[in-house]
Each structure stands twice: as structure tokens, then as C-alpha cells.
């Protein structure tokens, strides 16, 4: 599954007492100001799933729940170190908090309570802030929902993927279409802001099946939908099965048709297409992901999590066991770290902005970086305009309808 830049990880008390949690301290006002670098977003990676789906290459372990207490202890050490490094004086005000995985809601209610209690020592959601948690339809019971509500979560991102049971089986998902529908309806009693991920270009998936999935999604109380073409990442069982011929990849033409069908149906149903893979009802764009796309700084913690602070991008090691061992000894576990110079920052900004449907605002870019877009990328711009993949629209440079279909290969030319 392609998840473009929308996760900051390489690539998501007793069990009977979740209601005992304090009412959302994330919305209390007792906190220090936003830190001096103006960081207002944090990503926490929870690397546990019931099982690993055959196409997934995210940082996670399946069937190793015995590691959860050690993970929580290691996370505490990483957050304590973050607080010391950035001179936190009390919980920091965050405009967005995103708990991704893995499947964060695979944690039991008591472990979720422990996780949120830990986070509230370091972070505090601003009034009107966005607090997202990724979840799967299977296992998202009322006890877990109660914990999420008690701690101020106000947005759920559900890994639905399809409303066709054949596709769900092929993708090795553990829920049925009926269970996904029931979960969305149940969650909508508690959350106004519900998002669903959907996958197209699944082997054997017809245009009719994809259309039915889209129409089901549209008929449900969802405020945000992400559509991703299935990808075959090296090292996954799907990669091996596709190469051996056991799985038949969809043709480029089918993938293109399915992507365009998604755009047409979702826009027709009142969703704004605001990023290559993302659609939102009015006022429901994912604010956290926009932090990434707008080149702003963010904290991150957990195995495989990537952060961007003071111009340095660094990624934690992807091995869950190694990250736990390292932080158990209070040693950072960094896989890679890079200080971006002024030009690299500007180039990365262009690349991310072009993934947005509005594109790159040229005047704002030049004010921010003090260099013209043409100076940095004149040749790439000319070539892609000539090829019909980019266009000027008012003060913005943006992908054309054709360019959207080839977004990855266009934006990479700006790096
Ligand atoms: S549930 Fe999501 S994160 Fe977990 S293995 Fe499947 S695709 Fe990966």
C-alpha cells in the first residue's frame, strides 16, 4: 500500500477500568508555551498488530504482545530524553498529535491508558487541536473507544481498505466489509472526524468492485478518505508472490482508471481532493499530515519514527526489538540523520507542496526561502510543463490532471 508522506514512520490500569482515566488533560490549559522552535505537532509510533498483512512493510511486530510493557517503558525514556533535549518546562502545546502504527488500538484498554497517561506528561492539545489515532475495524471495541474519548482523541483514521470481502481476504485483512461498516457507524456516535484508508489496484479487483467500495464509503459518516494504489514493497510476501506470478499485478491502465474513478466519485460526493491521495469534506483536511506537506517541524517517538527539528531530519531504527533494547538503556536508536542545508530545505518544500492539489505558491515560497523557484528548478518546471504534467494556475505551480497520475515521478525531479 502506498502511504505517501502521511505517516511519520518509515514506510501507525486494569482492562476493566478504562473509564477511570482523568477527563482529557489534553484540553486543560495548564501547560508551558509552544517551545521556542515553534514545534506544534508530534507523531508517536505504536508498532503492534494482530498479524502482518502480506503487503505491509511498516515498522511493526505481529503476535508479540509480550513486548508491549517494554515498549511503553522505552517510549517513556525516549520522551524524557526529548523533553530534556528541547528544554520542555511542562507539557508542550501541540496543535496536532498523531498516534500511528502498526495498530495503536491493538493495545488493550489498560495499555492504551498507560500510553495516553505517559503522553500527557509531555504534550498538551491546544483548544481546537487535532488528536488522531489509527485503528483497525477488528478489535475496536467500546472499551477502547471509551479510553480514546477520555483522553481527548477527536479523529480516528480507520484501516478499512475495501468493502469487498474478496479483496479483504486477498489483502489478508482480519475484518469483513460488514464489520467495517458496523465499526464506522458505531464510531460515528463518538467521533465527528472519521477517516478511512482504501486500497485500489488489488489483484483481481474489478472496476465494479472498486466503485462499490467507493460508494459504500461515500454512504457512511466519513469526513475524510485516503485512496492508495497497492504497491509491492521489496521484502514483503506480496513482492515475492507477484514476482513468482502467484499474484497478478493490475496493469498501469487499470490502476489509472481506478484512481480517476476515485477522484470522480469522491469529488462528486462533496469531498475536496486536496492532496494526491487524500480527500476531505469541508473543514476536515488532516491537519497533522499538512504539517509534513508544508515542511514544518514535528517531534516523533517510537521505532521507525521520523522527526524534523531545527532543520535536522532523523529516523529511529526500524527494528522494534533493537529500539526497545536501546532505549531500555537510555541510548538513542537512530537509523539515519541528516542536516538539511538551505537549498535542500527549499527543494524538499517544493516537492511536498507539489503533492498538494493547490500546488506550490510561488510568491510565498520565494518570501520564505529567498530564492526563486526558477533558479532552483527551472529546467524541471519547463520539461514538465511541456510534457503536460505541470501548469501555472494563478500564483501557483501545480500538477495537471495528467500529472496527478505520475505525481511520484514528477515531484522527485525537484529534489
Ligand atoms: S493492519 Fe495495517 S499496519 Fe498492521 S500489518 Fe496490516 S497493513 Fe500493516
- Secondary structure of the chain in HEC code, one letter for each residue: CCCCCCCCECCCCCCCCHHHCCCCHHHCCCCCCCCCCCCCEEEEEECEECCCCCCCCCCCEECCHHHHHHHHHHHHHHHHHHHHHCCCCCCEEEEEEEEEECCHHHCCHHHHHHHHHHHCCCEEEEEEEEEEEEECCCCCCHHHHHHHHHCCCCEEEEEEECCCHHHHHHCCCCCCHHHHHHHHHHHHCCCCEEEEEEEECCCCCCHHHHHHHHHHHHHCCCCEEEEEECCCCCCCHHHHHHHCCCCCCCCHHHHHHHHHHHHHHHHHCCCEEEECCEEECCCCCCHHHHHHHCCCCEEEECCCEEEEECCEEEEECCCHHHHHHHHHCCCCCEEEEEECCHHHHHHHHHHHHHCECCCEEHHHHHHHHCCCHHHHHHHHHHHHHHCCCEEEECCEEEECHHHHHCHHHHHHHHC
Probe residue for ligand 1, chosen from 6, 45, 58 as the CB with the greatest number of ligand atoms within 8 Å: 58
Task: Check if 159 has its Cβ closer than 6 Å to any atom of ligand 1.
Answer: yes
In this prediction, residue 38 carries a pLDDT of: 86
In this prediction, residue 37 carries a pLDDT of: 56
Which residue ranges in the chain fall short of pLDDT 50? 1-6, 10-36
Calculate how far, in angstroms, residue 262's C-alpha sits from the geometric centre of ligand 1.
22
Probe residue for ligand 1, chosen from 45, 51, 53 as the CB with the greatest number of ligand atoms within 8 Å: 53
Q: Closest residue (by CA) to atom 8 of ligand 1? A: 56
Q: Closest residue (by CA) to atom 3 of ligand 1? A: 102
Task: Check if 103 has its Cβ closer than 6 Å to any atom of ligand 1.
Answer: yes
Global pTM value: 0.91
Probe residue for ligand 1, chosen from 59, 60, 236 as the CB with the greatest number of ligand atoms within 8 Å: 60
The arrangement of secondary structure in 18-291, i.e. its CATH architecture, is Alpha-Beta Horseshoe (3.80)
Q: What is the pLDDT of residues 55-109, one digit of tens each?
A: 999 999 999 999 999 999 999 999 999 999 999 999 999 999 999 999 999 999 9
In this prediction, residue 24 carries a pLDDT of: 35
Task: Check if 161 has its Cβ closer than 6 Å to any atom of ligand 1.
Answer: no
Write down the domain spans for the chain. 18-291, 359-415
Task: Check if 102 has its Cβ closer than 6 Å to any atom of ligand 1.
Answer: yes
In this prediction, residue 315 carries a pLDDT of: 98
Q: Closest residue (by CA) to atom 5 of ligand 1? A: 52
Atom of ligand 1 nearest to the CA of 173: 6
Calculate how far, in angstroms, residue 56's C-alpha sits from the geometric centre of ligand 1.
6
Calculate how far, in angstroms, residue 299's C-alpha sits from the geometric centre of ligand 1.
23
Probe residue for ligand 1, chosen from 46, 50, 56 as the CB with the greatest number of ligand atoms within 8 Å: 56
Amino acid at each position: 500500500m502506498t502511504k505517501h508522506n502521511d505517516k511519520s514512520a518509515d514506510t501507525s490500569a486494569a482492562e476493566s477500568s478504562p473509564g477511570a482515566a482523568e477527563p482529557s488533560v489534553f484540553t486543560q490549559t495548564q501547560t508551558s508555551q509552544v517551545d521556542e522552535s515553534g514545534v506544534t505537532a508530534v507523531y508517536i509510533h505504536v508498532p503492534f498488530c494482530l498479524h502482518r498483512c502480506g503487503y505491509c512493510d511498516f515498522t511493526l511486530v505481529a503476535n508479540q504482545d509480550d513486548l508491549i510493557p517494554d515498549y511503553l517503558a522505552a517510549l517513556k525514556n525516549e520522551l524524557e530524553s526529548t523533553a530534556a533535549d528541547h528544554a520542555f518546562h511542562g507539557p508542550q502545546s501541540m496543535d496536532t498529535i498523531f498516534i500511528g502504527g502498526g495498530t495503536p488500538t491493538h493495545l488493550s484498554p489498560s495499555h492504551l491508558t498507560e500510553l495516553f497517561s505517559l503522553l500527557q506528561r509531555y504534550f498538551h492539545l491546544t483548544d481546537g487541536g487535532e488528536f488522531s489515532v489509527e485503528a483497525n475495524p477488528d478489535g475496536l471495541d467500546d472499551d477502547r473507544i471509551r479510553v480514546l474519548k477520555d483522553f481527548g482523541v477527536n479523529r480516528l483514521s480507520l484501516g478499512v481498505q475495501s468493502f469487498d470481502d474478496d479483496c479483504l481476504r486477498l489483502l489478508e485483512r482480519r475484518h469483513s466489509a460488514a464489520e467495517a461498516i458496523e465499526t464506522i457507524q458505531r464510531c460515528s456516535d463518538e467521533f465527528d472526524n472519521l477517516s478511512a484508508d482504501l486500497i485500489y489496484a488489488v489483484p483481481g479487483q474489478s472496476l465494479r468492485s472498486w466503485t462499490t467500495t467507493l460508494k459504500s464509503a461515500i454512504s457512511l459518516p466519513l469526513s475524510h478518505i485516503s485512496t492508495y494504489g497497492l504497491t509491492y514493497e521489496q521484502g514483503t510476501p506480496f513482492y515475492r508472490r507477484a514476482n513468482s506470478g502467484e499474484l497478478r499485478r493490475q496493469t498501469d491502465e487499470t490502476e489509472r482508471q481506478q484512481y480517476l474513478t476515485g477522484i470522480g466519485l469522491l469529488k462528486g460526493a462533496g469531498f475536496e481532493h486536496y492532496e494526491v491521495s487524500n480527500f476531505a469534506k469541508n473543514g476536515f483536511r488532516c491537519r497533522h499530515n499538512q504539517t509534513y506537506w508544508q515542511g514544518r517541524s514535528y517531534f516523533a517517538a517510537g521505532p521507525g519514527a521520523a522527526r524534523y527539528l531545527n532543520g535536522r531530519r532523523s529516523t529511529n531504527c526500524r527494528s522494534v526489538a533493537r529500539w526497545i533494547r536501546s532505549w531500555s538503556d537510555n541510548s538513542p536508536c537512530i537509523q539515519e540523520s541528516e542536516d538539511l542545508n538551505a537549498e535542500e530545505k527549499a527543494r524538499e518544500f517544493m516537492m511536498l507542496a507539489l503533492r498538494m492539489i493547490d500546488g506550490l505558491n510561488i510568491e510565498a515560497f520565494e518570501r520564505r526561502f529567498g530564492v526563486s523557484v526558477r533558479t532552483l528548478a527551472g529546467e524541471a518546471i519547463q520539461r514538465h510543463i511541456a510534457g503536460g504534467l505541470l501548469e501555472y494556475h494563478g500564483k501557483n505551480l501545480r500538477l495537471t490532471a495528467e500529472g496527478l497520475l505520475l505525481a511520484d515521478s514528477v515531484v522527485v525531479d525537484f529534489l
